[in-house]
Amino acid sequence: MNREAHREKGLVFSIQRYSTEDGPGIRTTVFMKGCPLRCLWCHNPEGQEFLPRIAFNSSRCIGCKGCVDACPQGAINFTADGPRTDRGKCQNCGKCADVCPTGARELIGKYMTADEAFSEVERDILFYRNSGGGVTVGGGEPTAQPRFLVEFLKKCHEQGIHTALDTSGYVEWGEMEEILKHVDLVLYDIKQIDPAKHADYTGVSNELILENARRISSKGIPMIIRAPVIPGYTDGEDNIRDIMEFVSVLESVAKVDLLPFHRLGEPKYKKLDRNYEFECAQPPTDAHMQKLKRLVESFGLQTKVISK
């Protein structure tokens, strides 16, 4: 084994067990931190940055002020409205989280070797075998940490664990091709076909994303397309129809998941001292989701509405 690859560390922000919506069977999902996209509706904002970051849950704070004394940068102050963190001064060292007795302060993001990450997911191997499940890697964008990802997925395969990659597809093909050698299923996000709208909504072009989808399909790797349904952005029938016209010619696509907008990510923005731009947005109605489901099925594609 290449020793450098063995020592390569990945930045993980969550490991979620007993997932049933990230591939077949019961799965453990490893969420990698860092993403090159900036989707306006992102429900995992803690996964965007490529560094650990302090989050603060005010409802857990008991006002002990231990964090003030622990912060070497003097970034935390108590005001009449409670504690405030100067994000410009904060270096996300985690010392405030270390002394917080209630977990109100949390350092999101942990550097792990492939061995360390595998030891976490290996604990659930009986669930994978009994349910036909396995391990899914998501994010953030997992392909943004390709060396770690290849080493981790390789370890899963060596133990006969089914692997799934949940990706935006925004990665150079050479790196994606190496990752795919150890992937059994690809969960592939396609948000918008119109290139100008895609750039406006996510901050990046969709040219590479669409080309990679074609290439993955040409390799015969099973794909599940995931289409987020975001009010005012991607929920129009025209957009879903455009996506299906693109997807329907990809031979390895097994099905399409429709992902309706939800507000579960809203508290995360507050914990990170970030504005939430979808305060007034409401999830699409069941009737609208069923209409989109029928539209997808009209292309001969199996589909499911996923609620998370």
pLDDT at 164: 98
Report yes or no: 95 and 122 within 8 Å, Cβ to Cβ: no
pLDDT at 308: 62
pLDDT at 80: 84
The enclosing domain of 121 has a CATH number of 3.20.20.70
Mean pLDDT of 282-286: 95
pTM: predicted TM-score of the whole model, two decimal places:
0.93
Q: Who contacts 265 (Cβ-Cβ below 8 Å, separation ≥6)?
A: 42, 43, 44, 45, 276
- Please check whether residues 263 and 210 belong to one and the same domain: yes
pLDDT at 306: 92
- Please check whether residues 118 and 251 belong to one and the same domain: yes
Mean pLDDT of 280-285: 92
pLDDT at 7: 52
Task: Give residue-wise pLDDT tens across range 105-132.
Answer: 999 999 999 999 999 999 999 999 999 9
Mean pLDDT of 186-214: 98
The mean pLDDT value of the chain amounts to: 95
pLDDT > 80? residue 5: no
- Please check whether residues 168 and 77 belong to one and the same domain: no
Among 84, 102, 120, residue at a domain's last position: 102
- Please check whether residues 247 and 197 belong to one and the same domain: yes
In total, how many domains does the chain have?
2
- Please check whether residues 60 and 131 belong to one and the same domain: no
- Please check whether residues 155 and 265 belong to one and the same domain: yes
Q: Who contacts 61 (Cβ-Cβ below 8 Å, separation ≥6)?
A: 82, 83, 102, 104
Q: How far is CA 163 from CA 107, 149, 225, 306, in A?
A: 28, 11, 16, 20
pLDDT at 3: 37
Among 102, 120, 142, residue at a domain's last position: 102
pLDDT > 50? residue 4: no
Helices 173-180 & 207-218, crossing angle to 10 degrees?
A: 40
Beta bridge partners of 185: 164
Report the percentage of the chain scoring pLDDT > 70: 97
d(CA 166, CA 42): 15
Domain, as residue range, for 61: 53-102
The enclosing domain of 94 has a CATH number of 3.30.70.20
Task: Give residue-wise pLDDT tens across range 132-176.
Answer: 999 999 999 999 999 999 999 999 999 999 999 999 999 999 999
pLDDT at 82: 83
pLDDT at 174: 97
Q: What does 16-37 look like in DSSP terms, one character per residue?
A: EEEESSSSSSSEEEEEEP--S-
Pairing of strands 76-79, 82-85: antiparallel
Task: Give residue-wise pLDDT tens across range 233-279.
Answer: 999 999 999 999 999 999 999 899 999 999 989 999 999 999 998 98
d(CA 130, CA 24): 12
Q: H-type helices in the chain, by residue range?
A: 3-7, 66-70, 95-99, 114-122, 125-131, 146-158, 173-180, 195-202, 207-218, 237-247, 266-271, 286-297
7/103: higher pLDDT: 103
264/14: higher pLDDT: 14
